[in-house]
C-alpha cells in the first residue's frame, strides 16, 4: 500500500498536488556582496529575496523555498508555472526566476 493510501485509510488528511514551478533552466550565478544582498520578502511571508543593484537599476529575485539565505553564491534558474494559482495571480505557462 502506498504511503498516501495508508495515511488516508487511517483517516489522516493528505494534500495531493503537482509542483507549481517546473522545468528549471539555468540562467547564471550571482555572488552576494555590497551590491547584492538577501533580505526578507515584502510580498511573500516567510521567504527571502536576493536584491542586486546594477547601474541605475535593482533586481529582486525570490529565493526558492528552503534555500539557505546565507549562501555566498546563488544560481538563478528560470521556472515555468505548470498550473494556475489564483491566490497569487499565477497562470500556467508564465515564467519566473528563482535564486537557489
Say if residues 67 and 75 touch (Cβ distance below 8 Å): no
Say if residues 30 and 98 touch (Cβ distance below 8 Å): no
Whole-number Å distance between alpha carbons of 88 and 71: 27
Residue 77 has pLDDT above 90, yes or no: yes
> What's residue 1's pLDDT?
78
> What's residue 46's pLDDT?
87
For 26-63, how does the pLDDT look when each residue is reduced to its tens digit (9 = 90+)? 999 999 999 999 999 988 788 999 999 999 999 999 99
Residue range 76-99: mean pLDDT, rounded: 93
Instruction: Tell me the HSE value of 1 on the side-chain side, using a 13 A CA sphere.
Output: 8
Average pLDDT, whole number, for the chain? 92
3-state secondary structure 2-37: CHHHHHHHCCCCCCCCCCCEEEEEEEEEEECECCEE
Amino acid at each position: 500500500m502506498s504511503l498516501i493510501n495508508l495515511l488516508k485509510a487511517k483517516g489522516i488528511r493528505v494534500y495531493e498536488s503537482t509542483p507549481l514551478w517546473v522545468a528549471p533552466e539555468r540562467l547564471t550565478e550571482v555572488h552576494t556582496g555590497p551590491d547584492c544582498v538577501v533580505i526578507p520578502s515584502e510580498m511573500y511571508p516567510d521567504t527571502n529575496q536576493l536584491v542586486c543593484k546594477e547601474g541605475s537599476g535593482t533586481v529582486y529575485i525570490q529565493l526558492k523555498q528552503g534555500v539557505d539565505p546565507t549562501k555566498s553564491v546563488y544560481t538563478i534558474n528560470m521556472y515555468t508555472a505548470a498550473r494556475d494559482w489564483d491566490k497569487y495571480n499565477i497562470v500556467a505557462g508564465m515564467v519566473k526566476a528563482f535564486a537557489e
